[in-house]
Structure 1
Amino acid sequence: MSSVTDKVPLIVEGHEILISNPNKPLWPKIKKVDYLQKLVQIAPYLLRYCKNRYLTTIRYPHGYGDKTYFYQKNCPEPRPSFVKTAKLHEINYVNLDSVATLLWLGNLACLEFHPSFHYIDQSFPAEWVIDIDPSVENEPRLMDAVLCIGELLETLHIQSVPKTSGATGVQIVIPIIQKYSFDQLRKAGQFISEYLVHKYPNLFTIERLKKNRGHLIYIDYLQHWQGKTLAAPYTPRARELAPVSTPLHWHEVKKDLHPKDFNLLNIEERLKQEGDLIQKVKPQQLDHLLEHISN
């Protein structure tokens, strides 16, 4: 184990962080020091979806292929004074609200950031997310399936943003006016999912157990709930080539798209060109959909 004298001090936002093993490879082409630099680049985007939320991280002490990885909900200890926390159900979560806190977590080999769907001390969802999960690793129909959902939402006059999960799936993010309950959004998700399963029975399923899905693509409307999480927009993922969960234009959703197309080595250039696509969609009213469901 490294001693304090083996660590490199880094000053961030006026706070000192001691970086251990800066040359440790976290991905084949990315050392820890490189990773921290990349986190600084994506921080303005990633923090937007983690700040003032209950954060779960996934830590890989020996890099992305480390089989001893683990999920961390409780804030690691000891923690610096600048790291803010928030308690929920006896768990003391990190509030990822600063670059300094992000780099402190990065130094601990937190390679993924999964925030809650709601803000600290609030009960209403901050946005609505539908998770599209293929049942096989390389699903050639995935983007067609995502387009079907996007077209349905457009028919319902709901604007949305698809984003790669950074792993095998895609999530559809719907910015919303913050007045709808998790229960209302679950009913809306169930309505949309059941409609799609009925219309495309050879493409979609809402079967929760993977072993019972066959080759159908799972529409997971149940994951969007208080206490659950999904990969944040712009979080890195602990996969080969260091993919980043990346929002897309709808015209980019096509068959040859792959989550590995967007990664820590090229995400900075994309953000310079595109900015945050989720922020370009105004919060959506869902009253018309909810009224239709209740009738």
Structure 2
Amino acid sequence: MPQYLEGQRSSAWLKYKLRNSQQAVICGFTEAQGQQSGFGALVLGAYVQGKLIYIGNCGSGFKERERKEILEILAPHRRKTKPFDHAVKVAKESQVSWVEPELVCEVYFAEWTGDKHLRHPVFKGLRADKAAEDASMEIVAVNEMEQSRVVQLGRKKVTLTNQDKIYWPHEGLRKGDMLAYYEQMGNYLLPYLKDKPIAMNRFPDGIKGKSFFQKDVEPKQLPSWMKTVPMETASNKETIDYLICNDLASLLYIANLGSIEINSWLSTFKKPQMPKFGVLDLDPNGMDFQELKAVAKTCKKLLDKAEIPGFIKTSGSSGFHIYLHVNEQYDYSLVRNFIQFLAQMVHDQHPETTSLERAVKQRQGLIYLDFLQNRQGQTIAAPYSVRPKPGASVSTPIFWEELNEDIQITNFTIDSLVERLRTKADPWEAIFKTRVDIKRAITKF
């Protein structure tokens, strides 16, 4: 195992999975969900001894443009019945539009499941050069996941338990897949957690089970090396013990408790009233994704005008988070007022599609420009944190230029992030080298 170097990033930790490839017959498609266009997922099959077998649905790897183009290609091939045996159960079958099994595509996938379905399929492209009958199953051995394992990090030992428990039922993703992601991505995530109080969002039985938030922990029940700090809550002045996550062992321990997402304060326990970051949260509330991107681009123009280095990430749910590295120069009140000032200017340019109103009833269907994240004790999903959402999406730092591309928030998942950082630079690599001068920035408007 590569050595973990605190505060340093190393490509040695990008232990991406070997990817298998499979040609598949397109047998149908599901309805588009949320902000998707075209369709949700392709229903795939393959031939075994001349019989068409269902091998799963593929909903990731598509660009927005591809979804529209593929739907146009499939539309003339619709049929009323499924091309598999009547008894075959297909995921989201009630939402499927069936097509003649004539078109072939190729997908990457992690492995075959025990019932011969593709695990984590990712669309690679159409294969116009292949006949449907040539798409036969290419079975490779199923990789069984250990129920538990021990990770030794220096003098710290973390036991990872129930790794084979399904956390994302539709995708077949297990707790162990989530833990492997955090183990691989620790160097990218940990700088944003350093010395910040952590709130856990625990899903001990996966995203379909009961969940609960936990801030207060009992130090005596934790390993001796787990760091906690007593912090006074701003609401009722009660003192509670927060976890601090400064190393990989702590991160894995927290994730092993079923905390799918890692939420932290914007300030450290050392200077709790002085945030490291200011954040503007763009919450779409069902608004068209293209308009959401347009609003984000307006934010970028305003930041550029004020010569402010801003950084953007997906929320991992449906929106964007825009970060400013204020680096403990100002208190929360000043930072919040400045973010509100920016939000108001954005609203002035998008008055019909955005709102600063906190009351939900007064901003239904409008993009909420949430500046109230900038408060002591408020937590937010950390950059590179997994979210308890379908597809195991990740709150992902992106380049501003990617807003001009056919990106979808659902494209950024625990399956795609490792390869993304293997082939792309980290969009936030320079964030800690920047510092926002709010007083100087105001003079630019």
> TM-score, normalization: structure 2?
0.61
Q: Distance in 2 between matches of 1:34 and 1:195?
A: 42
Q: Distance in 1 between matches of 2:344 and 2:159?
A: 51
1:261-280, aligned counterparts within 5 Å?
Answer: 261-280=411-430
Indicate the structure (1 or 2) with the bigger Cα radius of gyration: 2
Assess if the C-alpha contact under 8 Å between 1:141 and 1:255 holds in 2. Answer: no
Runs of 5+ unmatched residues, structure 2: 1-145, 233-238
Which residue matches 1:199? 349
Going from structure 1 to structure 2, the CA distance change for 1:257 and 1:184 (only over 3 Å counts) comes to same
1:289 partnered with 2:431: no
Root mean square deviation, CA, Å: 2.0
Query: Displaced runs of 4+ in structure 1, greater than 4 A?
Result: 290-293
Which residue matches 2:159? 18
Which residue matches 2:36? none
Q: Distance in 2 between matches of 1:92 and 1:198?
A: 42
Q: Distance in 1 between matches of 2:223 and 2:367?
A: 43
Q: Which has the higher contact order (CA 8 A, sep 6+)?
A: 1
Matched to 2:206, the amino acid is G
Assess if the C-alpha contact under 8 Å between 2:277 and 2:324 holds in 1. Answer: yes
Greater shift after overlay, 75-84 or 181-190? 75-84
Going from structure 1 to structure 2, the CA distance change for 1:138 and 1:82 (only over 3 Å counts) comes to farther
Which residue matches 1:188? 338
Q: Distance in 2 between matches of 1:207 and 1:74?
A: 31
State the Cα deviation string for residues 51-77 of structure 1 (Å, max 9, x = none): 2100011000111222x1111111366
Runs of 5+ unmatched residues, structure 1: 1-5
Q: The residue matched to 2:162 in structure 1 has which SS?
A: coil
2:260 to 85, 88, 111: 111
Which residue matches 1:35? 178
State the Cα deviation string for residues 94-117 of structure 1 (Å, max 9, x = none): 101111111111211110011001
Assess if the C-alpha contact under 8 Å between 2:266 and 2:374 holds in 1. Answer: yes
Greater shift after overlay, 192-201 or 238-247? 192-201
1:157 partnered with 2:307: yes
Shift of 1:291: 5.5
Matched to 1:17, the amino acid is V
Shift of 1:20: 2.5
Shift of 1:247: 0.7
Q: The residue matched to 2:345 in structure 1 has which SS?
A: helix
Going from structure 1 to structure 2, the CA distance change for 1:204 and 1:138 (only over 3 Å counts) comes to closer
2:227 to 75, 84, 89: 84
State the Cα deviation string for residues 185-215 of structure 1 (Å, max 9, x = none): 1111121122222232112110111221132
Shift of 1:18: 2.9
1:49 partnered with 2:192: yes
Matched to 2:266, the amino acid is F
Going from structure 1 to structure 2, the CA distance change for 1:141 and 1:223 (only over 3 Å counts) comes to same
Q: Distance in 2 between matches of 1:135 and 1:288?
A: 33
Shift of 1:9: 4.4
Percent identity between the aligned chains? 28
Greater shift after overlay, 194-203 or 111-120? 194-203
Structure (1 or 2) with the greater helix fraction: 1
Q: How many residues align?
A: 287
> TM-score, normalization: structure 1?
0.91
Matched to 2:252, the amino acid is L
1:82-231, aligned counterparts within 5 Å?
Answer: 82-89=225-232, 90-122=239-271, 123-136=273-286, 139-231=289-381
Assess if the C-alpha contact under 8 Å between 1:46 and 1:232 holds in 2. Answer: yes
Shift of 1:290: 4.3
Which residue matches 1:63? 206
